[in-house]
Amino acid sequence: MSAPSFRIALVGCGRISANHFAAIAKVEGLSLVAVCDIIEERARSAGEAQQVPWFTSLEAMLAGAQCDVVVIATPSGLHPEQGVLAAKAGKHVVTEKPMAISLAGADELVRVCDEAGVQLFVVKQNRLNPPVQLLKRTVDRGRFGRIYLINTTVRWARPQEYYDQAPWRGTWKYDGGAIMNQASHYVDLVQWLGGPVQSVVAKTATLARRIETEDTGVAALQFASGALGTIEVTMLTYPKNMEGSVTVLGEKGTAKIGGTAVNRVEHWEFAETDPDDALVGAADTDPPTVYGFGHEGYYRNVLAVLRGEAAADTDGRAGRKSLELILGIYESARTGKEVSLPLRESR
């Protein structure tokens, strides 16, 4: 008996959709069967390019396309609402980051998917970058000893034209700022590597872009383990993307995964040698964009979960953890106070 295959429909044919289309095409057992976008020209273009039916509303796609999974690649503020629609239609849900821009939205999406008996996946493809996987394994095996400091730095460039291309970009209702949108994968990596965050102090600013939200922000973290952490994010780097990195400093080791999108081992030094050290050079990648190559690996995990062969790399509850940290950063920046986690209420 052959293993089951699954049909995928995607809503949101913007910048990131090309990574989804390419990844789905490479995973035997998954097939794209429909696309949707409220901009008719974009929906038609994607549908014709992928040779699948296209729709201009999610409701029409759910009614007209035979699918098992709905991928949500729309503006962040729409993710919970659209995920709920898909789940209530009995479809598994794959949502791009962040899964919501409020904890209330995230919690509703998790609840509805649970009640509908469908899987909820939150895309965190940077976790699957080979250098990041190597770093995570090293942390989990205790090679750093006691961890003292974890840092992430995102120094990217998003010109005003980027925000002007779509009215939802840089808005609180649909997007969030540099930390919520562009750097959310990096906030996720910090808490994935360092464990629960106990408190955060942050500052954000809108220094150069004509947007509602921040184009630059910094945060200092206290982990439950006692380690400290720092997050530095800006979309104002001149003249192009410079760095997307994560650094871990411990009593027995120092490692930095850098490049423009945590795609390259830039420093790797430990008190004791290990066979993993021989993998350092081979782990480097050279992705054409900051999105990296992780979507294919992510979809392989989606397929394995739907076949009952694996647990989800990042489900709704895992996606909620990084969202809560981002919202804690925003609350600290807004109030000027240290904010304890977990947050006291859904917001």
Within-domain flag for 279: no
Is residue 155's pLDDT more than 90? yes
Residue 81 pLDDT: 98
Q: Are residues 69 and 216 in the same domain?
A: no
Q: Quick one: how far is CA 55 from the chain centroid?
A: 26
Containing domain of residue 160, as a range? Answer: 128-264+322-340
pLDDT tens for residues 243-262? 999 999 999 999 999 999 99
Q: Are residues 110 and 157 in the same domain?
A: no
The number of distinct structural domains making up the chain is 2
Q: Are residues 328 and 304 in the same domain?
A: no
Q: Are residues 249 and 336 in the same domain?
A: yes
Q: How confident is the model at residue 344 (pLDDT cuts 50, 70, 90)?
A: confident
- Domain holding 260: CATH number? 3.30.360.10
Within-domain flag for 253: yes
d(CA 329, CA 337): 10
Best CA proximity match to 197, nearest among 164, 241, 230: 230
Q: Are residues 88 and 169 in the same domain?
A: no
pLDDT cut 70: percent of the chain above it: 97
Within-domain flag for 66: yes
Best CA proximity match to 165, nearest among 175, 156, 155, 173: 175
Is residue 288's pLDDT more than 70? no
Paired with 248 in beta bridges are 150, 255
- Domain holding 33: CATH number? 3.40.50.720
Residue 290 pLDDT: 55
Q: Are 338 and 201 in contact (CB under 8 A)?
A: yes
Within-domain flag for 287: no
Q: Are residues 75 and 140 in the same domain?
A: no
Average pLDDT, whole number, for the chain? 95
Within-domain flag for 138: yes
